[in-house]
């Protein structure tokens, strides 16, 4: 019995390692792009441009078994709630579709896709509003 439990535990550990090897980070840990954007939001908060922000505060159901995890929920100084989705320079078609579906599902939020620009293009951020 104990042998079977150890075998199951090893399978779970191996599965987690394979998943993380695909570039996935543990829940609520920011990747480099998200951390850089969080630093920018902290600066904007210090400057009084925004009141506050939260990272991965909620999931939005888009369809049966299809969810969208909000990257950043931002409260602006004018009391407007915005959803900010951060992306590196590459966005998959599926990722782009989820962003648009979320914007349609929650029309009372301002929805922005924030894309990090490569250094060779001058760096910074491109902002697309939905």
For the chain, domains (ranges, CATH) are 28-129 (3.40.1350)
Q: Rounded to whole angstroms, how far apart are CA atoms 74 and 84?
A: 7
Residues 6 or more apart from 125 whose CB is under 8 A from it?
37, 40, 114, 115, 116, 117
The answer to whether the beta carbons of residues 117 and 126 sit under 8 Å apart is yes
**What is the residue-level pLDDT of the chain in tens, covering all 130 positions?**
666 777 776 776 666 565 444 556 677 789 999 999 999 999 999 999 999 999 999 999 988 988 899 999 999 999 999 999 998 877 788 878 888 889 998 999 999 999 999 888 888 999 999 8
pTM > 0.85: yes or no: no
65: left (phi over 0), alpha (psi -120 to 50) or beta: left
């Amino acid at each position: 019995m104990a042998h079977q439990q150890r075998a199951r535990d090893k399978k779970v550990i191996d599965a987690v390692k394979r998943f993380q090897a695909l570039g996935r980070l543990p829940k609520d840990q920011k990747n480099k792009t998200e951390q850089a954007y969080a630093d920018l939001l902290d600066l904007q908060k210090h400057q009084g441009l925004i009141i506050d922000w939260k990272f991965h505060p909620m999931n939005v159901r888009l369809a049966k078994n299809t969810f969208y995890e909000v990257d950043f929920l931002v409260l602006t100084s004018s009391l407007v709630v915005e959803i900010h989705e951060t992306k590196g320079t590459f966005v998959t078609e599926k990722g782009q579709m989820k962003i648009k579906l979320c914007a349609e599902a929650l029309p009372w939020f301002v929805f922005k896709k924030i894309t990090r620009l490569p250094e060779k293009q001058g760096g910074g951020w491109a902002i697309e509003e939905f």
